[in-house]
């Protein structure tokens, strides 16, 4: 087949390196939408009557998630969508890092008439991420605290809205990297949590988990959507960066390596679901926490933050 033209005869705008198939704009957008729908069906992600909270950061993945889910909800008629954007409170020169993304999230959710809420760490956890970082609550990266708070924040909003599912925009590259990182760490427990084995969590669905980052970027570009491009000032995950590089290199020699990793996880999860893990309840908030601890991570960070802030204030008043 001529790579310059789509099967329909139109001029091609995208070449799928794995299959060697070229797509015109219309066929490409259709192909991605159908791939997301196929993923949703394959994993039984959606049932009629579902109330789904979309986690919309304002980056390309979440913008495409809203577009695809918005289109699907219009077709199905019998699912209800909500959206939330989490404002971490990350200070950058000239303001708040998330402001631009909140605007993009507003535009796309309005297009599909999806109710959209913005919630900040300050409202929920008593301080912004920058304040937590400055208080030196956690010795590791800011992302560790941020990730813990984001998961809790989204869960709280889902509970408040009565959502029975949470949809995130994780793409195939993110998923494959996370799986490989967990394998390299030997972290089976994290794989269990990743897949929401406990019934106490609101189930998470990832309709884009079989769509590559390159495909998502192209989809957003062809649709003319604006999304946040600037990287978060705290973003630096040395291990993920290495794993990303390794996967990129290996994928030039082994076709379909990203899908192979996702298939590996699916098979593992099917096996592991037989062996349920019993989680503890946090003694402060009652939410599920690791079998090894009595306090959940968000409460642990909040307590530490409050202690440090009180210490600073008591020293100031001396």
Query: Binding residues for ligand SF4, per CB under 6 A?
Result: 88, 142-143, 146-147, 232, 234-235
User: And the tokens for 145?
Assistant: 């605290």
**Choice between 70 and 127, CB closer to ligand SF4:** 127
Q: Give least dist CB 108 to ligand SF4, A.
A: 19
Q: Give least dist CB 266 to ligand SF4, A.
A: 26
Q: Give least dist CB 79 to ligand SF4, A.
A: 28
CB 154 within 8 A of CB 166: yes
* DSSP-derived secondary structure letter, 209: T
Query: Which string of DSSP letters, residue by residue, matches 57-86?
Result: -SSHHHHHHHHHHHHHHHHH-S-EEEEEEE
**Choice between 96 and 196, CB closer to ligand SF4:** 96
**Choice between 36 and 142, CB closer to ligand SF4:** 142
**Choice between 50 and 300, CB closer to ligand SF4:** 300
Q: Which residues contact 272 (CB under 8 A, 6 or more apart)?
A: 188, 191, 192, 195, 197
Q: What is the dihedral of CA 189, 190, 192, 197, to 10 degrees?
A: 110
**Choice between 63 and 81, CB closer to ligand SF4:** 63
Q: Which helix (H) or strand (E) holds 12?
A: none
**Choice between 57 and 195, CB closer to ligand SF4:** 57
Q: Give least dist CB 90 to ligand SF4, A.
A: 6
CB 195 within 8 A of CB 235: no
Rounded CA gap, 85 and 222, in Å? 24
The number of residues making up the chain comes to 318
Q: Give least dist CB 38 to ligand SF4, A.
A: 29
Q: Give least dist CB 146 to ligand SF4, A.
A: 3
């Amino acid at each position: 087949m001529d790579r310059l033209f789509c099967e329909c005869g139109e001029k091609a705008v995208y070449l799928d390196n794995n299959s060697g198939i070229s797509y015109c704009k219309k066929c490409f957008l259709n192909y991605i939408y159908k791939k997301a729908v196929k993923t949703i069906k394959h994993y039984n992600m959606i049932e009629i009557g579902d109330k789904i909270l979309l986690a919309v950061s304002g980056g390309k993945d979440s913008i495409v998630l809203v577009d695809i889910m918005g289109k699907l909800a219009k077709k199905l008629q019998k699912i209800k969508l909500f959206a939330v954007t989490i404002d971490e409170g990350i200070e950058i020169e000239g303001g708040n890092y998330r402001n631009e993304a909140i605007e993009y999230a507003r535009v796309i959710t309005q297009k599909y008439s999806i109710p959209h809420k913005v919630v900040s760490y300050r409202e929920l956890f008593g301080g912004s991420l920058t304040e937590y970082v400055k208080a030196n609550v956690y010795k590791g990266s800011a992302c560790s605290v941020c990730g813990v708070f984001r998961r809790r924040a989204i869960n709280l909003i889902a509970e408040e809205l009565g959502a029975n599912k949470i949809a995130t925009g994780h793409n195939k590259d993110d998923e494959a990297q996370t799986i490989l990182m967990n394998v390299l760490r030997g972290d089976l427990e994290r794989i269990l949590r990743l897949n929401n084995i406990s019934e106490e969590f609101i189930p998470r669905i990832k309709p884009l988990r079989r769509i590559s980052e390159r495909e998502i970027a192209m989809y957003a570009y062809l649709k003319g959507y604006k999304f946040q491009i600037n990287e978060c000032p705290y973003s630096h995950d040395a291990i993920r960066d290495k794993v990303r590089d390794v996967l990129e290199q290996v994928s030039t020699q082994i076709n379909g390596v990203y899908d192979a990793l996702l298939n590996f996880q699916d098979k593992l999860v099917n096996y592991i679901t037989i062996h349920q893990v019993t989680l503890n309840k946090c003694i402060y908030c009652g939410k599920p926490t690791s079998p090894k601890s009595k306090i959940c991570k968000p409460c642990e960070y909040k307590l530490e933050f409050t202690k440090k802030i009180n210490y600073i204030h008591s020293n100031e008043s001396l």
